[in-house]
Protein backbone atom coordinates (compact mmCIF):
# COMPACT_ATOMS: atom_id res chain seq x y z
CA UNK A 1 0.00 0.00 0.00
CA UNK A 2 2.86 2.36 0.82
CA UNK A 3 4.46 1.67 -2.54
CA UNK A 4 1.21 2.59 -4.29
CA UNK A 5 1.00 5.81 -2.30
CA UNK A 6 4.58 6.74 -3.27
CA UNK A 7 4.12 6.12 -6.99
CA UNK A 8 3.54 9.04 -9.31
CA UNK A 9 4.66 10.79 -12.47
CA UNK A 10 8.35 11.72 -12.74
CA UNK A 11 8.86 15.35 -11.72
CA UNK A 12 5.86 15.42 -9.38
CA UNK A 13 6.47 16.00 -5.69
CA UNK A 14 5.47 14.12 -2.59
CA UNK A 15 5.49 15.33 1.02
CA UNK A 16 6.04 12.90 3.86
CA UNK A 17 6.29 13.28 7.60
CA UNK A 18 9.14 11.55 9.40
CA UNK A 19 8.51 10.76 13.04
CA UNK A 20 11.58 10.79 15.26
CA UNK A 21 11.72 9.74 18.89
CA UNK A 22 13.69 12.87 19.78
CA UNK A 23 11.03 15.31 18.46
CA UNK A 24 7.40 15.90 19.30
CA UNK A 25 6.42 16.97 15.79
CA UNK A 26 7.19 15.07 12.56
CA UNK A 27 9.78 16.49 10.17
CA UNK A 28 8.16 17.31 6.82
CA UNK A 29 10.21 16.28 3.82
CA UNK A 30 9.34 17.01 0.20
CA UNK A 31 10.68 14.61 -2.43
CA UNK A 32 10.64 14.87 -6.21
CA UNK A 33 9.84 11.65 -8.06
CA UNK A 34 12.22 10.56 -10.82
CA UNK A 35 12.76 7.64 -13.15
CA UNK A 36 15.28 5.10 -12.00
CA UNK A 37 17.40 3.25 -14.48
CA UNK A 38 18.60 -0.18 -13.50
CA UNK A 39 22.20 -0.82 -14.53
CA UNK A 40 23.08 -3.85 -16.65
CA UNK A 41 24.38 -7.03 -15.06
CA UNK A 42 27.80 -6.43 -13.52
CA UNK A 43 30.48 -8.78 -14.74
CA UNK A 44 34.09 -9.52 -13.81
CA UNK A 45 36.60 -12.33 -14.29
CA UNK A 46 38.78 -13.80 -11.53
CA UNK A 47 41.47 -16.47 -11.13
CA UNK A 48 42.95 -16.20 -14.63
CA UNK A 49 39.46 -15.94 -16.15
CA UNK A 50 38.31 -19.26 -14.70
CA UNK A 51 35.62 -17.63 -12.51
CA UNK A 52 32.81 -15.56 -14.02
CA UNK A 53 31.34 -13.09 -11.50
CA UNK A 54 27.80 -11.84 -12.25
CA UNK A 55 25.85 -9.20 -10.31
CA UNK A 56 22.26 -8.46 -11.43
CA UNK A 57 20.56 -5.56 -9.63
CA UNK A 58 17.07 -6.96 -10.28
CA UNK A 59 15.63 -10.25 -11.53
CA UNK A 60 13.44 -9.04 -14.39
CA UNK A 61 13.19 -10.40 -17.94
CA UNK A 62 16.06 -8.34 -19.37
CA UNK A 63 18.48 -9.01 -16.52
CA UNK A 64 17.75 -12.75 -16.36
CA UNK A 65 18.24 -12.97 -20.14
CA UNK A 66 21.55 -11.15 -19.75
CA UNK A 67 22.70 -13.55 -16.99
CA UNK A 68 21.71 -16.54 -19.15
CA UNK A 69 23.59 -15.15 -22.17
CA UNK A 70 26.75 -14.51 -20.13
CA UNK A 71 26.66 -18.01 -18.62
CA UNK A 72 26.09 -19.60 -22.04
CA UNK A 73 29.11 -17.72 -23.37
CA UNK A 74 31.34 -18.62 -20.43
CA UNK A 75 32.47 -21.95 -21.89
CA UNK A 76 33.81 -20.15 -24.98
CA UNK A 77 35.68 -17.72 -22.74
CA UNK A 78 37.27 -20.54 -20.72
CA UNK A 79 35.29 -19.92 -17.53
CA UNK A 80 34.44 -23.00 -15.54
CA UNK A 81 32.94 -21.49 -12.41
CA UNK A 82 30.16 -18.97 -11.76
CA UNK A 83 29.97 -16.60 -8.81
CA UNK A 84 26.40 -15.23 -8.76
CA UNK A 85 26.10 -12.20 -6.49
CA UNK A 86 22.51 -11.81 -5.28
CA UNK A 87 23.40 -9.57 -2.34
CA UNK A 88 20.89 -6.74 -1.98
CA UNK A 89 18.75 -8.06 -4.85
CA UNK A 90 15.19 -7.67 -3.58
CA UNK A 91 13.25 -6.68 -6.68
CA UNK A 92 12.12 -8.67 -9.65
CA UNK A 93 9.56 -11.06 -10.96
CA UNK A 94 8.97 -14.54 -9.52
CA UNK A 95 8.37 -15.92 -13.02
CA UNK A 96 11.82 -14.71 -14.06
CA UNK A 97 13.37 -16.13 -10.88
CA UNK A 98 11.85 -19.52 -11.71
CA UNK A 99 13.21 -19.20 -15.25
CA UNK A 100 16.73 -18.47 -13.97
CA UNK A 101 16.61 -21.30 -11.42
CA UNK A 102 15.40 -23.68 -14.11
CA UNK A 103 18.23 -22.59 -16.40
CA UNK A 104 20.80 -23.37 -13.70
CA UNK A 105 19.24 -26.69 -12.63
CA UNK A 106 19.17 -29.91 -14.59
CA UNK A 107 16.08 -30.98 -12.66
CA UNK A 108 14.68 -30.76 -9.16
CA UNK A 109 12.27 -28.73 -7.09
CA UNK A 110 12.41 -24.98 -7.59
CA UNK A 111 9.62 -23.97 -5.19
CA UNK A 112 6.68 -25.39 -3.31
CA UNK A 113 3.58 -23.82 -1.84
CA UNK A 114 0.80 -25.01 0.41
CA UNK A 115 -1.17 -24.24 3.48
CA UNK A 116 -4.03 -25.33 5.69
CA UNK A 117 -6.61 -24.57 3.01
CA UNK A 118 -4.36 -24.64 -0.05
CA UNK A 119 -3.30 -27.91 -1.63
CA UNK A 120 0.45 -28.56 -1.81
CA UNK A 121 1.83 -27.57 -5.20
CA UNK A 122 5.31 -27.33 -6.62
CA UNK A 123 7.34 -25.81 -9.41
CA UNK A 124 9.86 -28.28 -10.73
CA UNK A 125 12.90 -27.84 -12.95
CA UNK A 126 12.59 -29.26 -16.40
CA UNK A 127 15.41 -30.36 -18.69
CA UNK A 128 16.92 -27.27 -20.28
CA UNK A 129 18.23 -27.63 -23.85
CA UNK A 130 21.03 -25.13 -23.35
CA UNK A 131 21.87 -26.03 -19.74
CA UNK A 132 25.23 -24.45 -18.88
CA UNK A 133 26.88 -27.63 -17.60
CA UNK A 134 28.21 -28.74 -14.26
CA UNK A 135 30.76 -26.05 -13.46
CA UNK A 136 31.06 -24.98 -9.83
CA UNK A 137 28.61 -22.33 -8.68
CA UNK A 138 28.67 -20.07 -5.65
CA UNK A 139 25.82 -17.71 -4.75
CA UNK A 140 26.39 -14.70 -2.49
CA UNK A 141 23.40 -13.59 -0.38
CA UNK A 142 22.81 -11.23 2.55
CA UNK A 143 19.98 -9.61 4.52
CA UNK A 144 19.17 -7.49 1.46
CA UNK A 145 18.48 -10.60 -0.62
CA UNK A 146 14.73 -11.05 -0.80
CA UNK A 147 11.82 -12.45 -2.82
CA UNK A 148 12.82 -13.68 -6.29
CA UNK A 149 16.56 -13.75 -5.49
CA UNK A 150 15.88 -15.90 -2.41
CA UNK A 151 13.95 -18.34 -4.56
CA UNK A 152 16.91 -18.74 -6.95
CA UNK A 153 19.42 -19.13 -4.11
CA UNK A 154 17.25 -21.66 -2.25
CA UNK A 155 16.53 -23.73 -5.37
CA UNK A 156 20.24 -23.96 -6.20
CA UNK A 157 21.17 -24.81 -2.61
CA UNK A 158 18.39 -27.37 -2.07
CA UNK A 159 19.26 -29.16 -5.31
CA UNK A 160 22.99 -29.12 -4.53
CA UNK A 161 23.76 -27.01 -7.61
CA UNK A 162 25.50 -24.20 -5.70
CA UNK A 163 27.23 -23.34 -2.46
CA UNK A 164 25.73 -20.37 -0.61
CA UNK A 165 27.88 -17.77 1.08
CA UNK A 166 25.46 -15.98 3.36
CA UNK A 167 25.24 -13.29 5.99
CA UNK A 168 21.62 -13.96 6.78
CA UNK A 169 18.64 -13.54 4.48
CA UNK A 170 15.65 -11.26 4.56
CA UNK A 171 13.39 -14.30 4.81
CA UNK A 172 10.64 -13.21 2.47
CA UNK A 173 11.04 -15.80 -0.31
CA UNK A 174 7.41 -15.34 -1.30
CA UNK A 175 5.34 -13.65 -3.89
CA UNK A 176 3.02 -11.11 -2.37
CA UNK A 177 -0.31 -10.07 -3.80
CA UNK A 178 -2.80 -7.55 -2.48
CA UNK A 179 -6.50 -8.22 -2.62
CA UNK A 180 -9.58 -6.34 -1.57
CA UNK A 181 -11.42 -7.38 1.60
CA UNK A 182 -15.20 -7.38 1.95
CA UNK A 183 -15.15 -3.91 3.57
CA UNK A 184 -13.08 -2.43 0.67
CA UNK A 185 -9.73 -2.38 2.48
CA UNK A 186 -6.62 -3.92 0.94
Task: Give me the chain's average pLDDT, please.
Answer: 79
pLDDT tens for residues 16-60?
A: 888 888 888 988 999 898 887 778 888 888 887 788 899 999 999
Residue 68, pLDDT > 50, answer yes
pLDDT digits (tens, 9 = 90+) for 75-111: 676 667 888 999 998 888 888 988 888 888 877 777 6
Q: What is the mean pLDDT of residues 163-181?
A: 63
Helix axes 94-104, 148-158, angle to 10 degrees: 20
- pLDDT for the residue 178: 54
Confidence of residue 173 (pLDDT cuts 50, 70, 90): very low
Least confident piece of the model among 27-36, 152-161, 177-186: 177-186
Interatomic CA distance for residues 125 and 109, integer angstroms: 6
CB proximity list for 145: less than 8 A, separation 6 or greater? 86, 87, 88, 89, 90, 153, 169, 170
Q: pTM above 0.85?
A: no
Q: For the chain, what percent of residues have pLDDT higher than 70?
A: 74
* CA 3 to mean position of chain CA atoms: 18
Q: Which residue has the higher pLDDT, 79 or 176?
A: 79
Please state whether 120 falls in left (phi above 0), alpha (psi between -120 and 50) or beta: beta
* Torsion angles phi and psi, residue 121, rounded to 5: -130, 160
Residue 53's closest CA among 157, 139, 144? 139
Amino acid sequence: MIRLMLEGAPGSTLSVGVVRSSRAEPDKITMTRSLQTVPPVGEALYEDSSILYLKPEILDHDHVSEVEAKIKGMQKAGNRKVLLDLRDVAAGDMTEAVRLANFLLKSGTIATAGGPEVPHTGVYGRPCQDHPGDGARVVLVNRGTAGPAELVAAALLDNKRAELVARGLFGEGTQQKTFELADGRR
